[in-house]
């Protein structure tokens, strides 16, 4: 009996060692791949670049600033539409739905939507928003298309975050006489904020890095906005589309270096957004 127990302990330790090794290796592999991509972009963009080159091709050009503004336009407008719809749907699925056939169909539809290629949604956005609704290739059409692309992400992330809140928190709130709406507002949602913010960050990254859906809907014009509201209905090229267009037209070493510079700027842009989002999340958690 003692022999079998020792054998079982050794087997358990071996399995634990293997699983821990696989976990460490996976984490290291992901970090190595990410670091390799960043270093490669840094090296390729720095090969032909000096301060004069940077000032001539990047800093003095209005194209870069216009594409950054267009990207911010689409991110902010898409989040303005997708957050209330996505979080509201997640709350309904988590706390109000009766787990019947309708909720199962809705879950299945969300899973299907999350697996659709963005190019398909881009074609739909072009036909529906640009042509049927008469928006043309515009920032608002690209924004509404990105709402379709990111809606499954925010719904799934918010639903998982809400479901991960311990039921004891809600039971304590109910025992103090609070209703369901008050409990959601004061207990459930505040505890689910970190998970919801994770979904928001994923949406921001998807919007900032999207090109297939936007090339048909937002257009390729590159101009500075003159009016905040009127610019939404004009064609606007994002950073990713600008990078795509630069790579497409690259035929010299200098143009390749410029393309990698745009890639580096896009990485810095996404990192900065995630960094400030994390700061906001930490400030909310510390309140």
What's the pLDDT tens digit per position in 122-133?
A: 899 999 999 999
CB atoms within 10 A of CB 3: 7
Q: Which residue has the higher pLDDT, 222 or 92?
A: 92
75/271: higher pLDDT: 75
Nearest to 263 by CA among 240, 287, 234: 240
pLDDT score of 179 more than 90: no
Q: How far apart are CA 111 and CA 256, in angstroms?
A: 39
Q: pTM above 0.75?
A: yes
* Mean pLDDT, the chain, whole residue set: 82
Assign domain 51-164+200-285 one CATH number from 3.100.10.10, 3.30.70.2740, 3.30.70.3000, 1.10.3720.10: 1.10.3720.10
Segment 210-235 shows an average pLDDT of 82
Contact in structure between 91 and 162 (CB atoms under 8 Å): yes
| Other residues' Cβ atoms within 10 Å of the Cβ of residue 31 | 10
Choose the weakest-confidence range: 85-94, 177-186, 203-212, 242-251: 242-251
């Amino acid at each position: 009996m003692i022999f079998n127990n020792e054998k079982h302990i050794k087997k358990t330790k071996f399995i634990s060692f293997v699983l821990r090794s696989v976990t460490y290796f996976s984490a290291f592999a992901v970090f190595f791949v990410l670091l390799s991509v960043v270093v490669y972009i840094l090296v390729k963009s720095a090969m032909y670049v000096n301060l004069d080159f940077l000032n001539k091709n990047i800093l003095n050009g209005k194209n870069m600033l216009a594409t950054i503004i267009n990207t911010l336009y689409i991110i902010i407008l898409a989040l303005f539409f997708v957050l209330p719809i996505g979080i509201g749907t997640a709350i309904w699925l988590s706390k109000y739905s009766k787990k019947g056939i309708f909720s199962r169909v809705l879950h299945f539809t969300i899973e299907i939507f999350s697996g659709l290629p963005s190019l398909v949604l881009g074609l739909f956005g072009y036909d529906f928003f640009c042509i049927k609704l008469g928006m043309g290739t515009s920032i608002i059409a690209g924004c509404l298309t990105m709402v379709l692309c990111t809606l499954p992400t925010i719904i799934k992330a918010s639903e998982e975050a809400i479901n991960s809140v311990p039921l004891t928190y809600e039971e304590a709130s109910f025992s103090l006489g609070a209703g369901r709406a008050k409990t959601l507002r004061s207990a459930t949602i505040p505890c689910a904020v970190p998970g919801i913010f994770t979904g928001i960050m994923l949406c921001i990254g998807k919007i900032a890095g999207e090109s297939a859906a936007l090339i048909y809907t937002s257009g390729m014009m590159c101009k500075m906005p003159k009016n905040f509201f009127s610019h939404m209905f004009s064609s606007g090229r994002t950073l990713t589309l600008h990078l795509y267009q630069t790579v497409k037209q690259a035929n010299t070493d200098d143009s390749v270096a410029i393309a990698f510079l745009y890639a580096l700027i896009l990485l810095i842009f996404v990192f900065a957004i995630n960094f400030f989002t994390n700061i906001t999340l930490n400030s909310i958690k510390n309140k």
